[in-house]
Chains A and B, each alone.
Chain A
Amino acid sequence: MESPLVETKLYIPRLRRSLVARPRLSERLSRGSEARLTLVSAPAGFGKTTLLTAWLAASADEPRSVAWLSLEESDSQPGLFWTYAISALQTAVPGAGAGSLALLRSGQAPIETVLAILVNELSAVPNEIQLVLDDYHLADGPDIEAGMVFLLEHLPPHVHLVISSRADPALPLARLRARGELVEVRAAELRFTLDEATDYLNEVAGLDLTANDIAALEGRTEGWIAALQLAALSMRGRTDVASFIAGFAGGDRYIVDYLVEEVLRRQPGNVQSFLIQTSILDRLTGPLCDAVTAQDGGKAMLESLDRANLFVVPLDDSRRWYRYHHLFADVLRTHLLDERTGEAADLHRRASQWHDENGEPPAAVRHALSAGDVERAAGLVELAIPALLRNRQEATIRRWLDLLPDEVVRVRPVLAIGLVGALMSGGEFESVEGRLRDIEDLLGKPRADMVVADEDGLLRLPGAIQMYRAALALVRGDAPATIRHAQLAVDRTAPDDHLTRAGAAALSGLAHWGSGDLEAAHRAYSASVEGLRRAGNISDILGCSIALADIRITQGRLGDAVRTYEHALQLGSGSGGTVLRGTADMHVGLSQLACERNDLAAATQHLLRSQELGEQTWLPQNPYRWRVSTARILQAQGDLDGALHLLDEAQRVYMGDFSPNVRPVPAARARLLAAKGQFAEALSWVREQGLSVGDEVSYLREFEHITLARILLSQYTAQRTGASAAEAARLLERLLTAAETGERTGSVIEILVLQALTQHARGDTAGALAPLERALTLAEPEAYVRVFVDEGPPMQVLLKAVAKQRSSWNYVRRLIDACGSTPVSSPTRLVDPLSERELEVLRLLGTDLDGPAIARELVVSLNTLRTHTKNIYAKLGVNSRRAAVRRAAELDLPAHRSR
């Protein structure tokens, strides 16, 4: 279940039938299509939202997509804010931002990484996009600001930001202004001019006022639209308009207050009560109003308010949800607070109850807190926590718990463990152990005042306490303690609490993996998978499968790794048509294995499939893993530059998880640099990592130390200088012993290959054959190819030497053939060639035409065009239009030549 979004917030507010035409402002807004940011900044009631909706409606036939987000007070948390912003973009451009949204929801990525991916995704959208953030002042703050500044700086030229706000946002406005990248509409321009006021009062509102009356109204309101609107409401059906205007124009009273009171006084008593009582609600719908007012007829009342244009703004087409205009709601609330003291708490409590019964815990908690009923709020939070943790909304839990007094939390053990979960996910570990002890004490000698709302949660506590202790130990880097507490957690979980057991097993797996005990790690992860299967949590099984396969690959058991991925793939795409998150990552894993076995066509197909499945099927690590796998294929094709470029990108989008990072991207990059002969750069990586040949060797740094040996060896081979070959040989010897002891056959094979190459480089070809033959013997049953063939001509020489002695060894002959068929340099062909249609699309991508124009040219829909573009990007191993065109030129594809 994804966290529920309030859909009405993504809905472009409906326009009133008749409006004052404001061409001077629409023209200015249209200039926004050349600017990065359009800012409509003015106090409440200046018609900002109306102006934007009217402008969008009038220019609706332009080929662009509009993403609308009406912000609310609770949106000032970055996680929620960006979830809504990206969801708004998805409403406008289906599919856009799916990857960044998945990443955001994973809760594992810094906002800037999410936004970097969003920017990439938006670059691939061919048409203009307007992202409108209405009532931005409600969300603005340091937490949102950083991301917004980043987004503004990196926004592709066809994406425009439109902000309406009561206060200037904390963005670099002066700089944007100086660069001509800011279009502004401010209070001075938004005020109704005398002509507009005349148009509004006499035409739209249908009053028949004299020029003098209008001048008096305009003067008193200073063109403030909300005030003019209220004045028009007050005058409707009045016979004494002149005296009303005289009375109103003379005073100093805050006009909105005066006018709301005028309007209220002219309403029947039941309407007055309804307005005042429901003013506590952020959003109104019939049944909710009935619950709050303890009366019937809320729906009819809202409809009649809507018809009479009285304070309400409809939030959807079906007239189900409304809200009060903020300015009026504030005045109504002062009436509530002043005239009905004591009633407000009851109203809030009833609102809380309704939201609770209708599955909206956040609103239920908010109203309970407003009612001052902390006990009720605490109970609601306790029950809401499991779903919130599942949806990675820890920040929401944290904020709520800040509002609950400590003594309330202390007697609620299930609530307290929820807080521990939120603290752990947020990286706040300091107070966790103390809190766990308090919970244990409470469970040990239950107090009379102990409160439990979630009875099932109580049964989960003993296991959960140990699971969190295991996690704490893992954070400390204390593997034995992690394993000990994980075992205690497994022993103490309730029989049907499969999730806690799975969590504890995974923690144990991580601890074993990090300490290099691969077999134990594999066993623990398998237990975790079993728990997840029983709990029905298939999606997390896919994540565990990557760990299981990675372990098998290190152990040199490629066949087992393939089976792990294939099994997970079936699970991921098996359930009723929906493809689970993580499914795409199984393809990336299979691509890696196919590549090692030199089936480059299959390897490419798997990567394509990962792309086709779409971002919503990606784990957060997909963007970087996909690029690393693509780089491997390019390297196998001899395109080292292309591979290096992709690894650079992989580094930028890198996203760690809890698994030990045993194959760091920078190390893979250093290997490529060495292969390309860029030793200075490769050695500077060695220095940055503080690596040296004398280091103690361990599993965690094995990949990096093998990389160091490779760099020394290539340097020796190329330059024939220094003691680097002897140093490499000594390092390899120690690495071999360690890998053999740890039973890491995958590593053993690679180390033996390097030993052979080192001997060969030092002129001892005969001495090279012993390690090589050992490597071949280990590698044959698992059908390794690239670990040999990637080494190029020296390896070809050595393999031929082996074949000469053992002519019947078919495996060796196949490897020699594979060497021959691998281009040595200059990538001139694609494994998966572009279709005629794709070449045609590629040619048009090289022109100035935008997406819709290309689609028209090809007579296809935008969606079809997007599919073609995606396939082209995948086949070329790029992720932007510009890169595709560049790559086409490099490859000298027909698309490029025909231009």
Chain B
Amino acid sequence: MSDTSAGHSRRYEIRIQGHLPSRWTTWFDGMSLTAESDGTTVLEGPVLDQAALHGLLHKVRDIGLPLLSVTQLDTDTPRRLT
């Protein structure tokens, strides 16, 4: 059973070091991938709940890419977690 008590899903931006080809989009559950000129990649998209967010972070960990930041987008003041 999914945790819907927290309401609708929220958009997150996850920034990692290194460029990932767009092929990884499906792997990251449909998050969009944008390669930035500073050598980082931004994953952006809706995340169902905290469990889903941690699942995404595990995937980042498992491929050994340095995690730079996690930001929640659709609040008035973006909350930075790292």
Give chain A's interface residues, CB within 8 Å of chain B: 43-46, 166-167, 224, 226, 251-257, 326-327, 330-331, 333-335, 337-339, 341, 402
Contact = CB atoms under 8 A, between A and B. Distances in A.
Contacts of A255: 18
B62 A254 contact: no
A256 B27 contact: no
Interface in B5-42: 18-21, 23-27, 35, 39, 41
Contacts of B20: 254, 257
A257 B61 CA distance: 15
A335 B35 CA distance: 19
Interface in B34-54: 35, 39, 41
A254 B27 contact: no
B81 interface: no
A330 B27 contact: yes
A198 B40 CA distance: 29
Contacts of B64: 43-46, 224, 226, 256, 327
Given A257-B21, A402-B1, 20 more contacts: A43-B64, A44-B63, A44-B64, A45-B64, A46-B64, A166-B61, A166-B62, A226-B64, A251-B19, A253-B21, A254-B19, A254-B65, A257-B24, A326-B62, A327-B64, A330-B63, A331-B63, A333-B27, A334-B23, A338-B25
Contacts of A330: 27, 62-63
Contacts, number: 57
A334 B24 contact: yes
20 contacts: A44-B61, A166-B62, A167-B61, A226-B64, A251-B19, A252-B19, A253-B18, A253-B19, A254-B18, A254-B20, A254-B63, A254-B65, A256-B64, A257-B24, A327-B64, A330-B63, A331-B63, A334-B26, A337-B27, A341-B26
Nearest to A341: B26
Contacts of A327: 62-64
A330 B61 CA distance: 12
A271 B63 CA distance: 23
Nearest to A166: B61
Contacts of B25: 338
Nearest to B20: A254
A167 B57 CA distance: 12
A251 B26 CA distance: 23
A449 B9 CA distance: 35
Nearest to B22: A338
Contacts of B39: 252
A677 to B, nearest CB: 60
Contact of A252 (B18, B24, B62, B63): B18
Contact of B63 (A251, A256, A337): A256
Interface in B57-76: 61-65
Contact of B61 (A43, A334, A341): A43
Nearest to B35: A252
A254 B65 CA distance: 8
- B20, B23, B27, B64: residue with the most chain A Cβ atoms closer than 10 Å: B64
B34 to A, nearest CB: 13
Nearest to B28: A334
A525 to B, nearest CB: 41
Contacts of B23: 334-335, 337-339
A226 B62 CA distance: 13
Contacts of B19: 251-254
Nearest to A42: B64
B21 to A, nearest CB: 6
A337 B27 CA distance: 7
A40 B61 CA distance: 16
B18 A334 contact: no
Contacts of B1: 402
A225 to B, nearest CB: 10
B6 to A, nearest CB: 19
A43 B66 CA distance: 9
Nearest to B21: A257
Going nearest first, the 3 A-B pairs with the smallest beta carbon separation are A252-B39, A337-B26, A338-B23
A709 to B, nearest CB: 55
Contacts of A341: 26
A256 B23 CA distance: 14
A165 to B, nearest CB: 11
Nearest to B26: A337
Contacts of A224: 64
Contacts of B27: 330, 333-334, 337
A338 B22 CA distance: 9
B58 to A, nearest CB: 8
A726 B35 CA distance: 91
A251 B19 CA distance: 9
A326 to B, nearest CB: 7
Nearest to B65: A254
A508 to B, nearest CB: 37
Contacts of B63: 44, 254, 256, 327, 330-331
